[in-house]
Structure 1
Amino acid sequence: MNIQKAYTATDVHVAGEAFRIIKDAPFIHYQSLQELNEQFPHAYEIEIKLLLNEPRGFAGLNGCLVVPPFKSGADAAVVFFDHNGTVPMQYGGIVAVITALLECGQLKAKPSNEYSIETVSGIVTVTAVMEAEEVKLVKLKSEPCQVAQTHVALSYLDLQTEVTLVQADQQYAIFDKAELPFEIEMDNLTDINQWGQKAIKALEGKNKVDRVVLLDHSQKSEGKIKTVTFRPDCYIVRSPGFGTTAACSTYLLGNGDVSVYSPIENESIFNGKLTAELLSQIETDYEFRFSARGFITGMQTYVLDPTDPLSAGFLLK
């Protein structure tokens, strides 16, 4: 084996969503996190493919590059990326990064449990509670969310329905599962996939939507919901989704379906769970506090062999 490059990474999952955290990427010159973020897709094109594409990664894997902070008071800085380039902000990535830094001893635990992570979207303050050298709980705040449009009529083949659009970290199209004959369970994955493809087709060319969400709120009186979230390429998000949880909470609060004083637990089709509680409401804008936990799944060294015919990797969706 001819090793041309080697990268060490820590893998963390947050409610089922996978993050690959790297700290030893090749040096490039930059004077700010914004400049690093702008250079990243070109300067680290090989690394993105090597670390996220199959056979080392998969279509749903997210990347985090951790570097020393620029801003005074920040504990670390991070650039988020996926297969297409950089991403401004990932709530799950913040949970993954603070978990890895604390549990691997790269960041000293504070008595206050309060930490600041620098991102291109600004400083993110998190609360990370440690017990017996493990991060047991991470809390962080959402950006404002609001209902953008209601009762949007859609039709495609046999799909005749209405959708609500909610602006959270992205634009979410929320569909009510009540009118569908199947439950959000793994046994019904084929039906769920077929429905998702129709919903995405129905939205094409009509509204800019970043995520399609099927929402089961039959247990909302108990503070529980269940969702499945699709990307525009029909790929199912592997976690309940921080943005999905905030968007669905905004939808239910806007309808008066849940109490403003009760947290909402969102469960995915894969049984991952995230919790959101309302922090503030200003007119139609809602802000939430998320609660989640990350789990380190491995620490690996990935190598690039120039004779490998699949050195750039591939993606199956």
Structure 2
Amino acid sequence: MNIQKAYTATDVHVAGEVYRIIKDAPFIHSQSLQELNGQFSLAYEEEINLLLNEPRGFAGLNGCLVVPPFTSGADVAVVFFDHKGTVPMQYGGIVAVITALLESGQLKAKSSNEYSVETVSGVVAATAVMKDEEVKLVTLKSKPCQIIQTHVPVSYLDLQTEVALVQADHLYAIFDKAELPFEIEMENLPDINQWGQKVIEALEGKYAVSRVVLLDHSQKSEGTIKTVTFRPDRYIVRSPGFGTLAACSTYLLENGDISASSRIENESIFIGKLTAELSSQLETEYEFIFSARGFITGMQTYVLDPTDPLAAGFLLK
């Protein structure tokens, strides 16, 4: 084997969502993280394809490039990216990066448990509790979320329903599962997928929705909801979703379905869980504190053989 390039990465999953953390990509001189972020898609196109595409990656894999901070006081800087290019912010990516760096010893543990991560969306403060050299819990604050519109009629083929539009880290279209004949369980995945395809087609061209959410809040009195979240490309988000949890909590709070003191746990179709509680409310805007834990799943070296016909990779969805 003729190895042309090699990259070392740490994979971390947060409630089922996988983040590939890269620390040894080719150096690019930048005056700021914003400049690096702007250069990233072109300068690191080969790395994106090599590390995120199959056969080394898969359609739902997220990337995190870790670099020294540009901002004074920050502990680390991160560029988030996916198969299409850079992403402004990934809450799960913050949890994954802090977990990987602390548990590998590359970030020195602080007695305060408080860390600052520089992103193109600003410096994000997070608290990471360690015990026995493991990160047991990471908490961080959401951006403001608000209801855009409720009771929006949706009609398409045999679909007659309503949707609520909520702005969080994306624009979320939230549908109530109560009117559907199936539960959010793995055995009902074909029905859930079919429903998701139909709803995405119904919304196409009408709203700039980035996420479609099926919400079961029948257990909200017990502090639990269940969701399935679809991306516009019809791919199901693997975790319960930080933004999904914030959007659904905003929707339930605005409707008076839960109290401001409620702690809400969002469970995915495969029992991954994320927790949020209201941090502050200013008029119609809500902010939340997320709680989650990351788990390192592997530390690998990925190589490029120049004779590999699949060097650019491929994606099956």
Same fold by TM-score, threshold 0.5 exceeded? Answer: yes
**Which position in structure 2 is the counterpart of 1:89?**
89
1:9 aligns with 2:1: no
Partners of 2:179 and 2:278 in 1: CA distance = 28
Partners of 1:10 and 1:204 in 2: CA distance = 36
Specify the code of the residue in structure 2 equivalent to 1:173.
Answer: A
**Which position in structure 1 is the counterpart of 2:114?**
114
CA displacement at 1:108 relative to structure 2: 0.6
CA displacement at 1:156 relative to structure 2: 1.3
1:311 aligns with 2:306: no
1:199 aligns with 2:177: no
**Which position in structure 2 is the counterpart of 1:279?**
279
CA displacement at 1:158 relative to structure 2: 1.1
Partners of 1:19 and 1:54 in 2: CA distance = 15
CA displacement at 1:192 relative to structure 2: 0.1
1:27 is paired with a residue whose SS is coil
**Which position in structure 1 is the counterpart of 2:135?**
135
CA displacement at 1:93 relative to structure 2: 0.2
**Which position in structure 1 is the counterpart of 2:123?**
123
**Which position in structure 2 is the counterpart of 1:251?**
251
Partners of 1:86 and 1:307 in 2: CA distance = 28
2:57 is paired with a residue whose SS is coil
Specify the code of the residue in structure 2 equivalent to 1:134.
Answer: E
**Which position in structure 2 is the counterpart of 1:239?**
239
CA displacement at 1:259 relative to structure 2: 1.1
1:124 is paired with a residue whose SS is strand
Partners of 1:28 and 1:75 in 2: CA distance = 20
Partners of 2:157 and 2:2 in 1: CA distance = 53
| 1:236-290 superposed Cα distances (whole Å, 9 cap, x missing partner) | 0000000000000000000000011011000000110000000011111000000
**Which position in structure 1 is the counterpart of 2:162?**
162
CA displacement at 1:96 relative to structure 2: 0.1
CA displacement at 1:92 relative to structure 2: 0.2
CA displacement at 1:78 relative to structure 2: 0.3
Partners of 1:196 and 1:259 in 2: CA distance = 29
Specify the code of the residue in structure 1 equivalent to 2:311.
Answer: S
CA displacement at 1:30 relative to structure 2: 1.0
Specify the code of the residue in structure 2 equivalent to 1:129.
Answer: V
**Which position in structure 2 is the counterpart of 1:25?**
25
| 1:48-101 superposed Cα distances (whole Å, 9 cap, x missing partner) | 000000000000000000000011110000000000000010000000000000
Root-mean-square deviation (CA, aligned residues, Å) is 0.4
Partners of 1:253 and 1:236 in 2: CA distance = 25
Specify the code of the residue in structure 2 equivalent to 1:14.
Answer: V
**Which position in structure 2 is the counterpart of 1:79?**
79
2:183 is paired with a residue whose SS is coil
Moved more, 4-13 or 23-32: 23-32
Is there any run of 5+ residues in structure 2 with no aligned partner, and where?
Answer: none
1:226 aligns with 2:232: no
Partners of 1:4 and 1:299 in 2: CA distance = 20
**Which position in structure 2 is the counterpart of 1:46?**
46
Specify the code of the residue in structure 2 equivalent to 1:141.
Answer: K
Partners of 1:258 and 1:7 in 2: CA distance = 47
2:77 is paired with a residue whose SS is strand
**Which position in structure 2 is the counterpart of 1:57?**
57
1:265 aligns with 2:245: no
CA displacement at 1:145 relative to structure 2: 0.3
Moved over 3 A (4+): none
**Which position in structure 1 is the counterpart of 2:296?**
296
| 1:140-161 superposed Cα distances (whole Å, 9 cap, x missing partner) | 0000000001111011111110
CA displacement at 1:166 relative to structure 2: 0.1
CA displacement at 1:215 relative to structure 2: 0.1
Specify the code of the residue in structure 1 equivalent to 2:153.
Answer: A
2:101 is paired with a residue whose SS is helix
